[in-house]
Structures are given as C-alpha cells and as structure tokens.
Amino acid sequence: MNFNKKTVKDIEIAGKKVLLRCDFNVPRDKKTNEITDDQRIRAALPTIKYLLDNGAAVIACSHLGRPKGEWKPELSLGPVGKRLSELLGKPVKMSLDVIGDSARELSAGLKPGEIMLLENLRYHSEEEKNDPDFAKKLASMADVFVSDAFGTVHRAHASTAGVARYLPAVGGFLVARELEIIGAALENPKRPFVAVLGGAKVSDKIGVINNLLNKADTILIGGGMSYTFIKAMGHEVGTSLLEEDKVGLAAEIIKKAGDCGVELVLPSDTKVGDRFDPDCNTQIVNSREIPAGWMGMDIGPATRQIYSDIIKKAGTVIWNGPVGVFEFPAFANGTRAIAQAMAQCPGTTIIGGGDSAAAVREFGVADKMTHVSTGGGASLEFIEGKVLPGVACLLDK
C-alpha cells in the first residue's frame, strides 16, 4: 500500500463542497447521553478550520455507536454538532437525515466557510455494506471527499471508501499524520527499532508479530498473550490466560524470531493473583514457575526494569496493548512503567491506539509521545501490513 497520499493541501478547495469523513464516535454518559470525552471532535478541528478558512463548504459526516441500520434517538449526532459548534465558535447546521431531503437541501444551500453535519451514517445499513447507491447519494452532495477518520480506514464502508469512486479523494491532517509517522516507522525506522506488544491474545497479534519480525530489532511481549509463549517454552502458567490452541504457533514465532535475528523478550518475573479481582492476594514469581491456582496479571519489577532499559535506548518504539490488567491498580505498574519509559525515550515513540492510548493518557504522558494513534483496529492493521481500504482509495501524490 502506498502511504504517499494527497492531502487537503494538494488540491484546490476554494468554492468547493467537501464531504469530510470524521470520527465523531465519542463516548457518552449512558444515562444523560452527554459527551464524556470530546477528544475525537477536537482532533478533527485542524482539518475543518483549514477547509473553512480556505473557502470550502464542509459537509461533515460520521457514525456513532452501533445502531445497525435503525434510527435510534440516543445515537443521534445532535450533541456532537452542538459541541463542534462550541469548539469552532460558529454555527454547525444539523441535518435531520443522512441522504434525504434535509441533507440535500442543507448541502445545496451551503456557502463557502459554512459547515453542516449529517445524521449518524449507520442509521443506514447500506453504510457498512458499502452499498454503491448509498455511496453515490452521499457523494452527490459534494465536489471533493476528504478522509480524516483514521479510526475507520480499515473498514471498506460507503463513507470511508465507497464515495471515492465518485469523488476525488484526499486525506485530512489527522490521516496524513498517521500515514507519515507510522508509515515511516515501518518503512525506514530509526534503530534500534523496538516493538512492545501486549493485550490478551496471541491470535489478535499474529499478523503484527509476523510483519514486525521482518522489521524490528527487538520485540517485548507482555500481557495475557505472554503466557501462551511461556507455555510454548515448556513452562506451567497456573490459571493465567492461555490460548491452548496457539501454543504451537507461539513456538513457531519464537523459532522464527531466532532465525530472523530478532530478540523476542518474554517476562522474567510476573505479578500473580489468586483470582481475577482487584482485591486479590498477590505475589511476585518467576515467570517460568507460576504456581498452580495463581494467574499472571502483570509483568514483575525485574521485567519492568529490563523492558524500560531497552525502550529508553530505542531509536523507534511502537507500543500496542497493555502489559497487565492496568484497570486494577495492583496490576497497573507494568503498563505504567512502559508508558514512563517511552516518555523518557529520545527516539520516535508511537502509541498504536486503543488501550495503549488510554494508558498513556491515564498516566499523564500522552503529550510526551511523538504520536498517539487515533485508531486502535486501524493502527493494528496498518502495523500488520494490511491494505487499509480508506487509505488505498485516496489519490497518490
């Protein structure tokens, strides 16, 4: 996949109507429906302001939640439009539908420097099916398509890829930055190139590991997935999370890493609990000697030190997945140590979205990273080397 895509700066937008795909899938309070974190709305502001300031009329669109083709009032983008208006300091016209009379009338009368927001794209089941007719109707309201929702570019939906069949398509600033920084790390990283991979399952990271075995110098493994690797080395893991059917695969990965000259590092010590509970009894044990009836829930202090030392000396670090059950305070030290080590690393530090992004924000070091990806699944598939439909459809430079 070519990462070198045209952006809003490479095309003429003055006097044009721009269909702008944003990621306004914001968390909300289940009782009041109030937006609890507007970070994704704020992330879209640079592209929106650039378009408006340069004489474009902006038709913003996004999904919210999973309405599955049904009109659910609690998943309306109305509150998003209101918050966007407050952040921009100007009116955001709100469409009552997606491709109906309201959307068409508002978009037809939209003037340069004005912005409107379509209703929730996923009120139509055709959106996720990438239905050509639905995509064509969306595209018919605009002259240009701008993709700025990196969190959705791994999906071939009507608003992420389908509309590019009918409109010239370029990236917004958010998408451009993701492609530039993660793309550079994968294509031409400053070395040593270190990958930190955590999370629950080996099966979720197989593609990522296989791709990084051809690129990284060192891969640090943590989280639930580490116990499948430890089991593959012939050791018992107690009641720790284990993918029994992936033990053979983990053994193959260990061998392949050796053949590729990649240092694959597993935890030397583990903090275990006697049950999956924030108030459980805990102890630190050798990772090769996890006692029966105990489950590994975080990397231990020796491993924290080893991993931190490796990270601090890296030229490039990519991190995807926590290395422990960091939502339980007793088992948050490993993930916190990774976050703090990356904050101290002088090299390029990339957080691959999802729980890792939540962790660096929670530990107050997000602003110390070179880049915190806005897409969990999208960044994972990007690092895995997969073609992202919402990127492949953009015009090449």
Of 17, 28, 40, 155, which is the active-site residue? 40
Tell me the CATH number at 169. Answer: 3.40.50.1260
Judge whether 371 lies within some domain.
yes
| Per-residue model confidence (pLDDT) at position 302 | 98
pLDDT exceeds 80 at position 121? yes
Q: Residue 353 catalytic? A: no
| 64 and 190 both lie in a single domain | no
Q: Residue 273 catalytic? A: no
State the pLDDT confidence band at 168, using cuts at 50, 70 and 90. Answer: very high
Question: Looking at 128, 153, 173, which one is the last position of a domain?
Answer: 173
pLDDT exceeds 80 at position 353? no
Judge whether 395 lies within some domain.
no
State the pLDDT confidence band at 376, using cuts at 50, 70 and 90. Answer: confident
State the pLDDT confidence band at 375, using cuts at 50, 70 and 90. Answer: confident
State the pLDDT confidence band at 260, using cuts at 50, 70 and 90. Answer: very high
| 264 and 150 both lie in a single domain | no
The mean per-residue pLDDT over the stretch 173-196 comes to 94
The mean per-residue pLDDT over the stretch 27-41 comes to 90
| Per-residue model confidence (pLDDT) at position 161 | 97
Judge whether 396 lies within some domain.
no
Q: Residue 31 catalytic? A: no
Of 201, 256, 312, 361, which is the active-site residue? 201
| 114 and 199 both lie in a single domain | no
Q: Please state, rounded to an integer, the average pLDDT across all residues of the chain.
A: 95
| Per-residue model confidence (pLDDT) at position 129 | 97
What is the C-alpha to C-alpha distance for residues 169 and 26, in angstroms, rounded to an integer? 25
Nearest 5°: the CA angle 109, 75, 131 is: 65
| 123 and 200 both lie in a single domain | no
Strand residue runs (E) in the chain: 17-21, 57-61, 92-94, 115-117, 144-147, 169-171, 193-197, 218-221, 263-265, 269-273, 282-286, 295-299, 316-320, 348-351, 371-372
| 131 and 32 both lie in a single domain | yes
- Among 14-23, 198-207, 332-341, where is mean pLDDT lowest? 198-207
Query: How confident is the model over 227-240, as pLDDT tens digits?
Result: 999 999 999 999 99
| 161 and 277 both lie in a single domain | no
Residues in the chain: 397
Judge whether 391 lies within some domain.
no
Token pair listed for 227: 């116990």
| 207 and 134 both lie in a single domain | no
Judge whether 3 lies within some domain.
no
Question: Looking at 173, 193, 228, which one is the last position of a domain?
Answer: 173
| Per-residue model confidence (pLDDT) at position 3 | 83
| 152 and 281 both lie in a single domain | no
Judge whether 397 lies within some domain.
no
More confident site: 96 or 377: 96
Judge whether 220 lies within some domain.
yes
Q: Residue 82 catalytic? A: no
Q: Which of 77, 69, 57, 153 is nearest to 117 (CA)?
A: 77
State the pLDDT confidence band at 377, using cuts at 50, 70 and 90. Answer: confident
What is the C-alpha to C-alpha distance for residues 33 and 144, in angstroms, rounded to an integer? 33
| 188 and 168 both lie in a single domain | no
Query: How confident is the model over 237-254, as pLDDT tens digits?
Result: 999 999 999 999 999 999
| 148 and 203 both lie in a single domain | no
More confident site: 218 or 358: 218
| Per-residue model confidence (pLDDT) at position 174 | 95
Q: Which domain holds residue 30?
A: 8-173
| 227 and 243 both lie in a single domain | yes
Query: How confident is the model over 291-309, as pLDDT tens digits?
Result: 999 999 999 999 999 999 9
pLDDT exceeds 80 at position 195? yes
| Per-residue model confidence (pLDDT) at position 290 | 97
| Per-residue model confidence (pLDDT) at position 54 | 98
The mean per-residue pLDDT over the stretch 147-168 comes to 97
Task: Check: CB of residue 196 under 8 Å from CB of residue 307.
Answer: yes
| Per-residue model confidence (pLDDT) at position 89 | 97
Token pair listed for 122: 């996923």
Judge whether 302 lies within some domain.
yes
What is the C-alpha to C-alpha distance for residues 62 and 292, in angstroms, rounded to an integer? 49
Of 354, 375, 376, 390, which is the active-site residue? 354
Specify the number of domains making up the chain. Answer: 2
The pTM of the full predicted model, rounded to 2 decimals, is 0.89
Question: Looking at 156, 173, 190, which one is the last position of a domain?
Answer: 173
| 288 and 231 both lie in a single domain | yes
